[in-house]
Amino acid sequence: MSKQDLRPGVWVGHVVLETNRLNETEQFMRKIGMRPIVNKADFAVLELRGGTHLVLIAKPEVVAGDATFDLMVEDLRAMHEYFEDLGLAPTSIDKVPPDHERFFIREPAGHRIAFFSNHVSGKPV
């Protein structure tokens, strides 16, 4: 690790989401701002800010619920409005202690994904 590089030395590499609607979920993730990396018959990989990869795994059946990860965006209110314009039906924005705000949307397989307001430290990430 370079002493000139002020970013933390580690980050999340991969998060996983199982889906019974791989193509629709992959397109949905692209629509909300992820970059496509790999798209195969049984899995897809999309890239998020910071280099984290979302791995979508095709399954014949899934139990929809809260995603095991959440997402953070630069401008929560602008993203909420953008998702409304896309017809994605975001929930209302609520306050989360201590200083966060969030809303949820559902992806095509039914998983609920939380979106949080930006709360990074202000140092290079």
**Angstrom distance (rounded) from CA 28 to CA 106:** 10
Q: How far is CA 3 from each of CA 11, 12, 41, 124, rounded to the nearest angstrom?
A: 17, 21, 43, 13
pLDDT digits (tens, 9 = 90+) for 3-33: 788 888 888 999 999 999 999 999 999 999 9
pLDDT digits (tens, 9 = 90+) for 104-123: 999 999 999 999 998 888 78
β-pair partners for 101: 95
Q: How far is CA 43 from each of CA 2, 37, 50, 85, 101, rounded to the nearest angstrom?
A: 35, 11, 21, 28, 32
pLDDT digits (tens, 9 = 90+) for 21-75: 999 999 999 999 999 999 999 999 999 998 999 999 999 999 999 999 999 999 9
CATH number of 14-117: 3.10.180.10
